Amino acid sequence: MFKVEENRTIYLDDKGNILGEVDYPYISSNVVDVNHTFVDISLRGKGIANLLLTHAFNYFRENNIKVKVSCSYAIKWLDNHREYTDLMIEKK
């Protein structure tokens, strides 16, 4: 289950344990910095980070939030998800 909390999107198991997360603190009223992506070792390689980032970027789009990216994984992810470049404050 994916859930948006203040400054992050998380992936939870059925017991509420956090299995993955994308952190994005606000750096201004409508701009976040995607600065960390984490997936529990038991789920790595199963596409969870991709799903987390997709969920987060869809949330940003729906809420008119612009994005800076300092997380190395998210930077690489954006290379393959050019459909989200319109949200970036610093274009590649």
Look at residue 75 and tell me whether its pLDDT is greater than 70: yes
Higher pLDDT, 54 or 13: 54
Q: What is the pLDDT of residues 31-55, one digit of tens each?
A: 999 999 999 999 999 999 999 999 9
Mean pLDDT of 72-78: 96
pTM for the full predicted model: 0.91
- The amino acid sitting at 38 is F
What is the C-alpha to C-alpha distance for residues 6 and 86, in angstroms, rounded to an integer? 23
User: In this predicted structure, what is the pLDDT of residue 52?
Assistant: 96
User: Pick from 68, 67, 66, 72: which is nearest to 38 by CA?
Assistant: 72
Look at residue 91 and tell me whether its pLDDT is greater than 70: no
| Domain 2-87 part of CATH 3.20.20.60 | no
CB 58 within 8 Å of CB 11: no
- Dihedral angle at the C-alpha atoms of 56, 60, 23, 41, nearest 10 degrees? 10
**Which tokens is 2 given?**
């994916």
